[in-house]
Every structure is written in structure tokens, then in C-alpha cells.
Amino acid sequence: MEGHRMKSAAAALLLGIGLAGGLALPAAAQSSVRIGGPAAEQPVDRDGPMVPTQIPGQSRGDSWHAIRLGEQGTVSIPNKQAGVLIQSEGEAWRAVRNGPLSQYGSWVLGGILALLALFFLVRGRIRIDGEKTGRTIQRFNAFERGVHWMTAGSFVVLAISGLNVLYGRHTLLPLIGPEPFAALTHYGKLAHNFLGFAFILGVALIFVMWVHHNIPSRHDLTWFLKAGGLFAKGVHPPAHKFNGGQKVIFWSTVVGGAALGFTGVQLIFPFSFATLEEMQLYQLAHAAIAVIMIAIILAHIYIGSVGMEGAFDAMGDGQVELQWAREHHSLWVEEVTGEKVRHGNHHGTPAE
Ligand code: HEM
């Protein structure tokens, strides 16, 4: 009886786990193997549906033990990985993704939004302190602005569609219902897959265009010591084309963008470059880096739009008010216009 059951299990069941000896099912038996078929198609015997527990020559306990440890069995379908019935790393991955990753992620994103709102309430919009000149100077050319907006546009769609994958089920789904949510998630995923490449290209071009303006210098130290003048009206530490804070944005974009691109490519071409375990780690890294980068970029978007008078023009038509440039980038103004600016004075006015 027991021998009969063992034989029919091996012949009809989903897989045979090849333990140390590497036992495989006979070819005839393998041809009838089905993975994940409907219950009605599962082989049955007098005692009910058969379960894939046993390996010829192994006790039932040993067989289960091997399956629980994630040992790879043999299957006749092309996807050999289906021979692993229980992949324990997958359980750990799921626990981290749905637990600490999602939780800390929501704290980081909620935290930065609260900080920005608080900063706006306390400091208000950072105004141009001195008198406007009515004259402008060019800050970024059309190509630079085009690259910036390609990177920014793709990032925003990637961020929204990515956050939907992480949080949508618990936030959007109850709000908009299953059908709109399914459609949104479907198109969001398509957009995410394609725009990833535009973002990677944008980050590479940003690196090439601006790296020479972003080498750390002693002025950055002064800039950070004075907190960039962000908290005190009329304080303007000297800066070249990019100040210390902008260098942080630049390097976050380049390093974070490269890490997102690398891990993203691993996930978009499953199993081409990485094993399942590696992909699980890449997915966690991808999501964690994305959350941090979204938080940093939210601060960047705030200061580049509502947070500071005159800043948006740099990426709008590329022309900035000369007085804005004197206050925020005094050393750069000296370089490009030849005029002398009194650094560190409270209005960035030109020297006599
Ligand atoms: C979507 C809204 C965004 C707005 C309104 C915005 C605005 C701006 C502005 C006005 C500047 C020029 C600052 C200056 O002249 O000193 C700038 C620069 C820059 N932006 Fe954006 N940006 C946005 C999104 C992004 C995104 C998503 C990224 C990258 C993922 C990004 C990366 C950069 C970098 C690296 C710079 C140069 C360094 C810096 O000025 O901080 N921007 N942005």
C-alpha cells in the first residue's frame, strides 16, 4: 500500500526533489507532470488528492524537510525554477517589503512634507532681498533645460507609479475602487518600465553637463555653516554656479539615479542578470533608494518653485534676474559678467 502510493506520487506529481543523490523522475513520469493545474486535474487516489511530498527512497519527513529548505527538484517544464516549491527568502522579502520598508518609507515621505510645510509657514517664500535690476543673465541653455525637464518629467511619473506599486493597494484602491485602480496600475507599470530608460539617459547627461560645477569646494563649507542663508533673511553665503545645497541635489541625483537605474534594469529583465534571491534584494534596495530620493527631490522641487522667488526662471526660460544671481551665486556672477559683487554682505550688491 505504502509502496504503491509512493510510486504513483512520483509518477503523477508536480515535481521530484533531487536530494544529495540528485534523483530525478523517470522521463515517462515527467511528461505527465503538471505545475499549478486546476484542482480537478490533480491526480487522486482512494484517499483523496495526492500531495507532492515524497521522494522515492526518502521518508516523507525528509522530503518535506528538503522542500521546506527550498531545495530544487526536477520538473519537465522549461521553467526549472518551478522545481522549488518553497523559497524561504521570498517570505523574508515579503515581510521586509510589507513591514519596515513600507513603514519607514511612509515616515520619511510624511516627514519631509511636514518639514517643508513648516518651513513655508515659518520662513515664507524666500524673496530677492535687494532691488531688482530688470536685467537678466542666462543661467541654463535650452539643451540643459531640455535634459533637466526630461529627467524631472520621467522622475515624477516614475515616483508616482512606483509609490502606487508600494502603497496603492492600501491607499488608492479603497478610494477609487478596483477597476480604475487596476487600469491606473496597469498603465502606471507600463509607463514605469519605459520611462525608466529616459530617466537613466537624463541622469547620465546631467552628470556630463554639470559635474565640473559640482566638485566640492571650501565655499560649500561656509555655505553649510550658514545653513545656506535659508533660515535668516538677508544672509547670502558666496557661491559659484552651484552652492553646497545644490551639490547635494546633484550628487543625490547622480548616485541615487545610477543606483535606481542599476537595480531597475535587474528587475525589468527578470533572471537575465540576477537570480531570484538577488532580485529580491534589488527590489528592496530599489524601493528604499527611491523613497529617499523622492524625499530629497521634494525639497528640491519646493525650493525651485514656490519656495524661492526668481529660482524657477533658471529652468523656465533660462534667464534669471541679475539681483537674484548676485544674492545666490555671487562668485558665478563675477565669473560670467566680470562685475565685482560684495560677498557675504546682506544684499549681494555690486562693489563700488
Ligand atoms: C518637477 C519639478 C522640478 C522643478 C520645479 C525643478 C526646478 C529646478 C530649478 C529651478 C533648477 C535650477 C536651480 C538654479 O538655477 O540654481 C533645478 C536644477 C536642478 N534640478 Fe530640478 N526641478 C524639478 C525636478 C527635478 C528632478 C525630478 C530632478 C532629478 C531627479 C532634478 C534635478 C536637478 C538638478 C540635479 C539640478 C542642478 C542642481 C540644483 O540646482 O539643485 N530636478 N531644478
**Residue 285 DSSP SS3:** helix
Question: Whose CA is closest to atom 34 on ligand 1?
Answer: 250
Answer whether 309's CB lies under 8 Å from 316's CB.
Answer: no
Residues having CB closer than 6 A to ligand 1 are: 139, 148, 151-152, 155-156, 206, 242, 246, 249-250, 253, 297, 300-301, 304-305, 311-312, 314-315
Per CATH, the number for 88-337 is 1.20.950.20
From 230, 315, 319, 329, give the residue whose CB has the most ligand 1 atoms within 8 Å, as the site to mutate. 315
Residue matched to cell numbers 516627514: 111
Residue-range domain boundaries for the chain: 2-83, 88-337
Q: What is the pLDDT of residue 85?
A: 87
Express each pLDDT in 219-271 by its tens digit: 999 999 999 989 888 899 999 999 999 999 999 999 999 999 999 999 999 99
Task: Return the top range by mean pLDDT from 22-26, 52-56, 76-80, 204-208.
Answer: 204-208
- Average pLDDT, integer, range 180-191: 98
- Average pLDDT, integer, range 180-202: 98
Express each pLDDT in 279-316 by its tens digit: 999 999 999 999 999 999 999 999 999 999 999 999 99
Residue 54, pLDDT > 90, answer: no
The confidence band for 47, taking pLDDT boundaries of 50, 70 and 90, is very low
**Residue 307 DSSP SS3:** coil
Would you put residue 134 in left (φ > 0), alpha (ψ -120 to 50) or beta? left
Closest to 17 in 3D by CA, of 67, 65, 62: 67
Q: What is the pLDDT of residue 282?
A: 98
**Residues forming beta bridges with residue 350, ordered by sequence position:** 341
- Grid cell of 249 as nine digits: 541635489
Residue 11, pLDDT > 70, answer: no
Our measurement of the distance from residue 332's CA atom to the centroid of its chain's CA atoms, rounded to an integer in Å, reads: 33
From 116, 141, 148, give the residue whose CB has the most ligand 1 atoms within 8 Å, as the site to mutate. 148
Question: Whose CA is closest to atom 24 on ligand 1?
Answer: 152
Query: In ligand 1, which atom is closest to the CA atom of 312?
Result: 10
Beta 136-138 vs 44-45: how paired, if at all?
unpaired
Q: What is the pLDDT of residue 74?
A: 79
